[in-house]
Amino acid sequence: MTARPAPDTRARGRFITVEGGEGAGKSTLVERLVGALGERGIRAVATREPGGSAGAEEIRALLLGGATERWDPVAETLLLMAARRDHLRRTVWPAIAAGRWVVCDRYADSTRAYQGAGKGVDPAFIEHVQRSVDEGRAPDLTLVLDLPAALGRARARARRGKDDAAGDRFEALESSFHERLHSAFRAIAEAEPGRCAVLDATAPPDDLLAAALRAIGDRLPLPLRPA
């Protein structure tokens, strides 16, 4: 048996984003992926958008709280982009520069889907602002969790019922909005097959994790057997 070389911790880390509609299991998958990558000798950190840095978490509270019509879609896009810029500069880029892998619960495709396809913000405007915010650095890989919108909403409702918590401004939107999101995430993945992998989010959590690790192994060179 040939010994595998130890992972090169001086190398730049990778940026993996996890996308999809409500109730698709993104947060659970992000946490489990970080654990599974760690078992393979890869130092990984979990983060989320909007949020992931002190300033961005403050903006998250502004974005998610209050009445559904609190922000118009353009203002909402700009708040999300301000949060993203802070998150990239303070959390994501420093971690990647230090050799860590960053696994992020939602990122720019959520803006394309929710604010673009869902709420009618001009896609050209979103891309223009995004280019300044990310300085041309796209994620290395995006895992798109695919789940019929009705099933995702039912899962999100069940979760809220358990936590006795009200939905946020976005979860309160009507079902046609969530159908548009579902189509938008699929269209994004079809348009960028090199960056995106679509995963069946109706699968049990263990199978979803295995599929995610396979997708990562197919696209990014990494030691995918446990260390």
Residues in the site for ligand TMP, rule: CB under 6 A? Answer: 49-50, 64, 80, 106, 110-111, 114-115, 168, 170-171
Give whichever of 42 and 91 is closer to ligand TMP, judged by the CB atom.
Answer: 91
Give least dist CB 61 to ligand TMP, A.
Answer: 11
Residue nearest to ligand TMP (CB): 170
CA-wise closest residue to 192 among 140, 122, 155, 154: 140
Least Å distance, CB 226 to ligand TMP, is: 29
Q: What is the DSSP letter of 119?
A: T
Is 96 in contact with 66 (CB distance < 8 Å)? no
Choice between 93 and 224, CB closer to ligand TMP: 93
CB closer to ligand TMP out of 50 and 139: 50
Q: Could you give the CA distance from residue 210 to residue 98 in angstroms, rounded to a whole number?
A: 27
**C-alpha–C-alpha distance, residues 223 and 227, integer Å:** 8
For ligand TMP, the closer CB: 42 or 86: 86
Q: CB of 209: closest distance to ligand TMP in angstroms?
A: 18
Q: Which is nearer to ligand TMP, 62 or 210 (CB)?
A: 62
CB 169 within 8 A of CB 65: yes
How far, rounded to the nearest angstrom, does the alpha carbon of residue 222 sit from its chain's CA centroid?
21
Q: Name the residue nearer to ligand TMP (CB basis): 80 or 149.
A: 80
Q: What is the DSSP letter of 204?
A: -
CB of 107 to ligand TMP, least distance (A): 6
Tell me the closest approach of the beta carbon of residue 115 to ligand TMP, in angstroms: 6
Listed in sequence order, the residues at least 6 apart from 208 whose beta carbon sits closer than 8 Å to its beta carbon are 25, 29, 145, 199, 200, 201
CB 158 within 8 A of CB 36: no
Minimum distance between the CB of residue 52 and ligand TMP, rounded to whole angstroms? Answer: 10
